[in-house]
Amino acid sequence: MVRPVKIQLGRTERMSYSRIDEVVDIPDLIEIQKRSYQWFLDEGLMEVLRDVSPIRDFSGEIELSFIDKEFDSGTPTYSIEECKERDSNFAAPLKVKVRFHNKKDDIIKDQSIYIGEFPIMTDTGTFIINGAERVIISQLVRSPGAYFTPGEDKGDKQLFNSQIIPNRGAWLEYETDANDILWVRVDRTRKFHLSVLLRSLGFGTDDDILALFGESAILHATLGKDLCRTREEGLQELYRKLRPGEPVSVEGAETLLNNMFFDPKRYDLGRFGIYKLNKKLALASRLVGHQAAETLVDANGEIIVAEGETITEQIAKDIQASSINEVTVHPVVVVGNTVTVMDERIKIIGNNRVNAAEFIFAGMDPAYTEGLDVAALGVTERVRIPVLKEILAEAKASKNPSETLREQLRSRVTDLMPKHLTVEDIVASVSYMIGLTYGIGSTDDIDHLGNRRIRSVGELLQNQIRVGFARMERVVRERMGTTDMLTATPQQLVNTRPVSAAIKEFFGSSQLSQFMDQPNPLAELTHKRRLSALGPGGLSRDRANFEVRDVHSSHYGRMCPIETPEGPNIGLINSLATYARVNKYGFIETPYRVYDKVNGVVTDEVKYMTADEEDYYYIAQANEPLDAEHHFEQKKVVCRYLDKFIEREPSQVDLMDVSPKQLVSVATALIPFLGNDDANRALMGSNMQRQAVPL
């Protein structure tokens, strides 16, 4: 018999008849909106201003920089009630501090320029635009990063495709064919031999390419078909493919290649793209389970792995931490219970990144690194090893190593963690592609939620404002050529109309800016937690296939498998699960209780996990019976592992769900005895509750 318990829900005290204890309180359900908008005000807007600055004229002698922003969301022009009466926007003035620098005449002028009225988010996560409440719904898009997918089988040969997708810029795609030839496509143009791209990047001859990647049949086949033999020929061929019909020049090809992939203004992976790219191209994840073809030693001369030894997960981490970037292995193929070690020697190449903190603490005297927090200095991702080694060498040679180290890390953040592609990234991705043909590395499931991320209101606003500033940049550059630079002021050069127009356009007519659904409080709440795969940069409902719309095992606890519209938008518009939250990279996390294997107890410690982190764990259901001491009562526990439900001994369980309503949205969780419902009827019920009108 369930004994009722008094629980506090906000200001209301209620009786709970639940058999399962609530370990975690339901979170702030509109946090996704409020936190994202706050991020835009704190960081997002300044990021755009830094990216646009400085704007230079064609001679390079005149510079215009955006130094700071002035915006106080606490002092709106009108109150919310006044805005609704006047049919106006709930907004406050946005000003930008602009610095004009004439290097020729050594003139510096600072001025604060009014951009326009910028909408303020209300406490309930909405905007008042033209007197009406509007909601910016979050967009679910494919995350930037490197993806490797199986291609179509041609007979008994497995083919592979790969894509390097940026947040902004040209796509880079590789593919293999039935003749074992590697092809590349740049920005959806005609495909050409991958060796042409490698020659253009500085690996000019066949010997250079083979020395870089090692011997492999697929590389020999590709080089055999490629008619180019030098870097210059490679650049000319690349230019012909990317700019057909235009006169070919080596200098033009170099500029084109640099602009496409290595210019931060034209190519941007974003902080989330860097994270995904580094994670995929890291050396350690590809080494595990294969046999070392040579002995590897660290900087101190100690052996990390001996020739012929199988590389374990720990050895792979040690290799990566020691800044080794190339490892030659004998691939190990496992089919059922049969393990085969291949004779081929395959070179695996990483993208030359390392954990900055670990590398610094291992390579510097502890006296100089005491209290060092690299994240506080702006180093938040893996960093380029050559740049970090330069910084450490400079610090060791200086009079004050501790101060020099901190100053260098702070000032060289963009060199350590470039947001554009590097040659090392391209080399590592080609190495991954070659490795896949020998069973090294893994392919990706593009519908997995670990490969899709949320663009919330803050990021959508940032992208729109970036478009406005890019339009303004062209106007400023034109005015620099026609205005007298001795008497010019920032106000004369800057035309703010493109930026204010971009803001108006976004809030007024974007597909993701919607009139708030408010027949009842549930409709309002659901609207703010909605996730759409449609919209600018997303899918279109005509081209979206069944796989994209379908429920995936990685949706568990992150996206509701039930609440979605009927009709053409089915599966493209979803709802965030009850306990789900969005992390700093935009990936959805869900909470789990940790199982203490030593004491055999389900603890109250809660761990939030993204979909790709969860893949390695056995997770018990929330309704699994526990005794008074929180031990599992049954001898076998039903667990979720990837997309399967299996029985396991309690000692093999890693985590446990926090609540039975964890996998569904707020609206679906209101349906009583949901487990006894047919899924189609539950879908209708979760949608129809929003239409109930209070009398």
Domain of 113, CATH number, reads 3.90.1100.10
509 within a domain of the structure (yes/no):
yes
Are 111 and 42 in a shared domain? yes
Are 51 and 92 in a shared domain? yes
Q: What is the DSSP string of 594-630?
A: EEETTTTEEEEEEEEEEHHHHTT--EE-TTS-B-TTS
Q: What is the DSSP string of 182-251?
A: EEEEETT---EEHHHHHHHTT--SHHHHHHHH---HHHHHHHHH----SHHHHHHHHHHHHSTTSPP-HH
pLDDT at position 147, please?
94
5 within a domain of the structure (yes/no):
no
624 within a domain of the structure (yes/no):
yes
Express each pLDDT in 132-189 by its tens digit. Answer: 999 999 999 999 999 999 887 666 778 899 999 999 888 999 999 888 899 999 888 8
pLDDT at position 427, please?
92
Are 511 and 604 in a shared domain? no
pLDDT at position 649, please?
92
User: Closest Cα partner for 125 from 26, 27, 35, 9?
Assistant: 35
Given a cut of 50, the residues of the chain with pLDDT beneath it are none
Using CA atoms, how far apart are residues 540 and 538, in angstroms rounded to an integer? Answer: 7
pLDDT at position 521, please?
92
538 within a domain of the structure (yes/no):
no
- Which residues have C-beta within 8 Å of that of residue 113, sequence separation ≥ 6? 95, 96, 97, 98, 490, 491, 494, 496
Are 170 and 196 in a shared domain? yes
pLDDT at position 514, please?
93
- Partners of 91 in beta bridges: 119
Please provide residue 46's backbone torsions phi and psi, each rounded to the nearest 5 degrees.
Answer: -65, -35
448 within a domain of the structure (yes/no):
no
User: Closest Cα partner for 465 from 58, 34, 71, 30?
Assistant: 71
Are 344 and 364 in a shared domain? no
Helices and strands, counts by H and E, the chain: 25, 34
Which of 380, 408, 436 is the last residue before a domain boundary? 436
Are 687 and 548 in a shared domain? yes
> Which residue range forms the structural domain that includes residue 57?
31-141+453-515
Are 495 and 509 in a shared domain? yes
pLDDT at position 609, please?
94
Are 586 and 681 in a shared domain? yes
pLDDT at position 513, please?
94
Are 551 and 685 in a shared domain? yes
pLDDT at position 653, please?
93
Domain of 613, CATH number, reads 2.30.150.10
DSSP state of 568: T
User: Closest Cα partner for 131 from 186, 88, 98, 99?
Assistant: 88
Using CA atoms, how far apart are residues 418 and 262, in angstroms rounded to an integer? Answer: 9
pTM of the shown model: 0.91
Are 553 and 682 in a shared domain? yes
Are 92 and 164 in a shared domain? no
The mean predicted confidence, pLDDT, of the chain is 88
How many structural domains compose the chain? 5
Residue type for position 372: L
551 within a domain of the structure (yes/no):
yes
Helix, coil or strand: residue 100: strand
pLDDT at position 375, please?
82
Using CA atoms, how far apart are residues 289 and 280, in angstroms rounded to an integer? Answer: 17
19 within a domain of the structure (yes/no):
no
130 within a domain of the structure (yes/no):
yes
pLDDT at position 1, please?
53
Length reported for the chain: 695
- Which residues have C-beta within 8 Å of that of residue 220, sequence separation ≥ 6? 210
Which of 319, 349, 379 is the last residue before a domain boundary? 349
pLDDT at position 102, please?
82
Are 184 and 259 in a shared domain? yes
> How would you label 645-657 residue by residue, b for 16+ Cβ within 10 Å and e otherwise?
eeeeebeebbbbb
